[in-house]
Homo-oligomer: A and B are copies of this chain.
């Protein structure tokens, strides 16, 4: 039986892990918001900050992986604690990838900022808001071990997919209309695709949270692949 001291040290380790994951989540959310502001407000210096800010996310990933391995080696957790650690190891991969996608959006914003805007952006910021909400909610579900909240994230993913498809088809229309629109519309198409992918990563996280809490794996009952425009 572990001593009280060991239990306390273990709990401190887990608390630190949760805090690091929240810090990484907050940083990633800020990168998404900043990459969109860089696009909406045509702010190229801000786009460059996103690229450098992503380094912090990458550093946090390495730190969290190390923390997980240290806990596994020293504390040999079982049952729900083990599920928490192995889930954390996988969740950081999704968060890191979201950071990369924010950088991709910022890079596209930089290109777009050099030419006149194609049109006022309406649906793209809506898609970005939805994606950001999904990431926040999935991380909340993780830190509070709330499977019901994680399931809300899974349900809401269809809205993102539908909005992405609407944007995709609208941009296709702009491209058909005038070949001068093609380059800008393509860039916006990729931005929309990146936002839709951020939503998919939130879904991944949510699926893992349901597993972590309930101990049953619900991954892959549904396809994350769209029939078209994906």
Interface of A with B (CB < 8 Å)? 51, 54-55, 58-59, 61-62, 65-66, 68-69, 72-73, 76, 78-79, 82-83, 86, 89-90, 93-94, 100, 103-104, 107-108, 111, 172, 175-176, 179, 182-183, 186, 189-190, 193, 204, 217, 219-220, 223-228, 230
In the complex formed, the residue of B with least CB distance to A224 is B100
Residues in chain B near residue A94, CB distance under 8 A: 93
Task: Select A183's contact among B54, B104, B172, B225, beta carbons within 8 Å.
Answer: B172
Task: Select A73's contact among B82, B219, B223, beta carbons within 8 Å.
Answer: B82
Residues in chain B near residue A86, CB distance under 8 A: 65, 68-69, 72, 89
Q: Are A228 and B107 interface neighbours, CB within 8 A?
A: yes
The prevalent SS among residues of A at the interface is helix
A94 to B51, CA, bound (A): 23
Q: Are A228 and B111 interface neighbours, CB within 8 A?
A: yes
Residues in chain B near residue A82, CB distance under 8 A: 69, 72-73
A82 to B72, CA, bound (A): 8
List the 4 closest A-B pairs by CB distance, nearest first: A58-B220, A76-B76, A103-B225, A176-B179
Sample 28 A-B pairs with CB under 8 A, ordered by A number: A58-B219, A59-B220, A61-B220, A62-B217, A62-B220, A65-B86, A65-B217, A68-B86, A69-B82, A72-B72, A72-B86, A89-B89, A89-B90, A90-B93, A100-B224, A100-B225, A104-B226, A107-B227, A107-B228, A172-B182, A172-B183, A175-B175, A176-B182, A179-B179, A186-B186, A190-B193, A190-B230, A193-B193
Residues in chain B near residue A186, CB distance under 8 A: 172, 175, 186, 189
Residues in chain B near residue A55, CB distance under 8 A: 220
